[in-house]
Structure 1
Amino acid sequence: MSLVRAETRRLFKRRFTSVILIGVVLIMSAVVAGTFFSNQKVTDTQIAAAKAEADQYYQDAVKMVAQEKQKCVADNPTNAAQCEWPDPSPSDYDYQWYMPETFELRAEYGNMITLLAVLLASAAFLIGASFVGSEWHSGGMMNLLLWRPKRLQVLSTKLAVVLSWFTGLSLLLGALWTGAFVLIANLRGSTEKMTSGVWQSFGLTGLRGIALVVVAGALGFALASLGRHTGMALGALVGIGALQIGVYIMASMTGAKYPEAWLLPVWGFAWMYKEYVVQDYNSCNSSSDSGCEPDTFLMTWQTAGIGMAIATVLVVGAAMYAMRRRDIA
């Protein structure tokens, strides 16, 4: 337990940790403030005005089309059939397009959960990598192993401290995030249709967000431990990004199906939003109703989760193996 306390104290005594966490809070505050001031509560008067504006645009469009048809017939008296085209429809002028911006909790909060998850995952990756990378670079790891020679216990304790604190931090900031946007919806938007099922869906999205944070923290920590330097994790991140872009280009050039499925953001999107449809634009399925439709592959959150789990286990396992087998000096 003393090792856990020591690692916790070491984690939060680091200036880099404080800077990153303060940056996270500032970004969160900016998003909340921007959302609050860019939205407003819609009144019945504004709804009536928007409906009147939409109807006016519709009536103007009807008159303009009628005039164009008359002009076309006058210019082509022997071929009036070509002057027949559809009249405007009221559905083409939805009154909501003329409404002021308002924050609808049911429709928009899911995106806010994903935004927070990505922000915390980025912070977890950087702090996890820096926490162990600086220990290797400064020689602190070697000094620690002099009085605590159990290598795997030391490394796994450091990892557990990072991940457990980020899990707790995610829960705390997630609760504050939710409270802030519920308040915004009450003051500057709407909380209509917020059923228990919607809240359950938001809760599950939040849990997947926490899992994303844990995976990012574990990968950053493990990569930095493998390279014994924080730069190893950052370099690996850049290298993986360049590699997947290269694979995507090669797959597209060779005509492989679904090259987009190699991109990591697609996996993250599928994980957070439960699914992502990947299309093969080189294929064509003709139909009388929709014309040419490409082949599709549905990537689900289960598929993305399995991929993330395998990658995490492999990288963390490699870091633990290297810790056990490599010379520490």
Structure 2
Amino acid sequence: MINLLAAEFTRLRSRRIVIIWLIGLLVAVAGFQVLAGFVVRQPTASEIATARHQLQQAQADYTAHHDADVKQCEEDNPGQADACDYPPPTLNDYLRTPETFAATADAGLTVSTVFTALIFLVIGASMIGAEYGSGAIANWLSFIPDRNRVYVSKITVVALAAAVIGAAAAALTLTTTALLVKINSGTVDHVGDLAAAGARGLIVVVVATAGGFALALVSRHTIAALGVVVGYLVADFVLNIVMASLDAVQKIKPWLPDKNAQAVIEHGISYQDQVTRVTADGTTYDTVTRHLSFGHGLVYLLVVLAIAVAASLLVFRRRDIG
């Protein structure tokens, strides 16, 4: 089995499409870090000077009009005097505040996880799809007729590669973001929580990879996996429109793949539903906050993984390959 895994790894590494997609992933991670460099940057001397000038003008305006504004507000809103007063302006009101390490790194991890998942969905699909298209799979099975071993070796290699690259992308994101924050005199904190989020993101990456592999294997075409992704994006767009007018459709939110993937990465998420109520005064709309737990998302993804692997293995074992 080790020799078979080594052979599959060599085939994966030698495919030019894999190198191209990995370069794309590196560009995406690097592009985010360029943006991160701007948002964590400390205000320049020129920005501080401009903010101080704006503050002086605002303080003069506050001094000149505050009492009159409060008095007029109290006259217009009897019994709400506490809501009429407002504090004097401060420098922070006119000065850009650098983003924290936690917020920036969290966004970066989301970018690296999503891109890695999508890229390896395509790689997983193209690996087996290309073998069906070229007939290489038939030739391979003539040397190794045990289809179970062949299937396990192929999906294991591509899933391990996805996990390793995903971990490397997450580590690179955390490291470079921390470096940028340190250079700008910021504080690097919540590293443990962010590392855990990166690790949870690998679950999403592996499931997406296996899903792409399974779809291409069952359909014999790489394009089928891409078609499912595009189809889901279109369906999701339509569902969002329908949900805005039909409350009942909102019940499917906990069963959408993207919501469950997000729940796994973020260790649980909250989302909002709009509930329509008919009262004596007419129709009203209430916003209800609901929670999707990490456990729900994890079980959902594991079930998807199990179905994808079981179904594609069954097809692979029974299909005639000529």
Smaller-chain TM-score bracket: 0.7 to 0.9
Q: Counterpart of 1:158? A: 154
| Rounded Cα–Cα distance in structure 2 between residues aligned with 1:253 and 1:262 | 19
Name the amino acid aligned to 2:75.
A
Q: Counterpart of 2:226? A: 234
Contact 1:102 1:188 in 2 (8 A): no
Instruction: Decide which of 86, 96, 112 is 1:89's aligned counterpart.
Output: 86
| Rounded Cα–Cα distance in structure 1 between residues aligned with 2:103 and 2:53 | 25
Instruction: Decide which of 232, 246, 263 is 1:270's aligned counterpart.
Output: 263
How far did residue 45 of structure 1 move?
11
Q: Counterpart of 1:146? A: 142
Contact 2:105 2:173 in 1 (8 A): no
Q: How does 1:12-161 map to 2 (within 5 A)?
A: 12-37=13-38, 39-42=40-43, 53-54=54-55, 57=58, 60-61=61-62, 63-64=64-65, 66-67=67-68, 81-82=75-76, 86-90=83-87, 93=89, 95-100=91-96, 102-161=98-157
2:309 is the counterpart of 1:309: no
| Rounded Cα–Cα distance in structure 2 between residues aligned with 1:38 and 1:174 | 19
2:201 is the counterpart of 1:209: yes
User: Cα 1:98–1:251, aligned 2, differ >3 Å: closer, same or farther?
Assistant: closer
Name the amino acid aligned to 1:19.
I
- SS of the residue 2:316 aligns to: helix
How far did residue 122 of structure 1 move?
1.1
Q: Counterpart of 1:77? A: none
User: Cα 1:94–1:263, aligned 2, differ >3 Å: closer, same or farther?
Assistant: farther
| Rounded Cα–Cα distance in structure 1 between residues aligned with 2:320 and 2:59 | 77
How far did residue 249 of structure 1 move?
5.3
2:314 is the counterpart of 1:327: no
Q: Counterpart of 2:7? A: 6
How far did residue 264 of structure 1 move?
3.3
User: Cα 1:83–1:204, aligned 2, differ >3 Å: closer, same or farther?
Assistant: closer
Structure 1 length-normalised TM: 0.82
RMSD: 3.3
Q: Counterpart of 1:218? A: 210
Name the amino acid aligned to 1:124.
F
- Larger mean CA deviation between 125-134 and 250-259 belongs to 250-259
Contact 2:275 2:286 in 1 (8 A): no
- SS of the residue 2:247 aligns to: coil
Contact 1:284 1:295 in 2 (8 A): no
Contact 1:245 1:263 in 2 (8 A): no
Contact 1:285 1:293 in 2 (8 A): no
| Rounded Cα–Cα distance in structure 2 between residues aligned with 1:292 and 1:249 | 16
Q: Counterpart of 1:318? A: 311
| Rounded Cα–Cα distance in structure 1 between residues aligned with 2:241 and 2:293 | 23
The count of corresponding residues between Structure 1 and Structure 2 is: 313
How far did residue 176 of structure 1 move?
2.2
How far did residue 147 of structure 1 move?
0.3
Contact 2:8 2:154 in 1 (8 A): yes
Structure 2 length-normalised TM: 0.84
How far did residue 34 of structure 1 move?
3.0
Q: 5+ residue gaps in structure 2?
A: none
Name the amino acid aligned to 1:179.
T
- SS of the residue 1:277 aligns to: strand
Name the amino acid aligned to 2:29.
M
- SS of the residue 1:281 aligns to: strand
State the Cα deviation string for residues 116-175 of structure 1 (Å, max 9, x = none).
111111111111111111111110111100000111211110110011122122222322
| Rounded Cα–Cα distance in structure 2 between residues aligned with 1:178 and 1:253 | 41
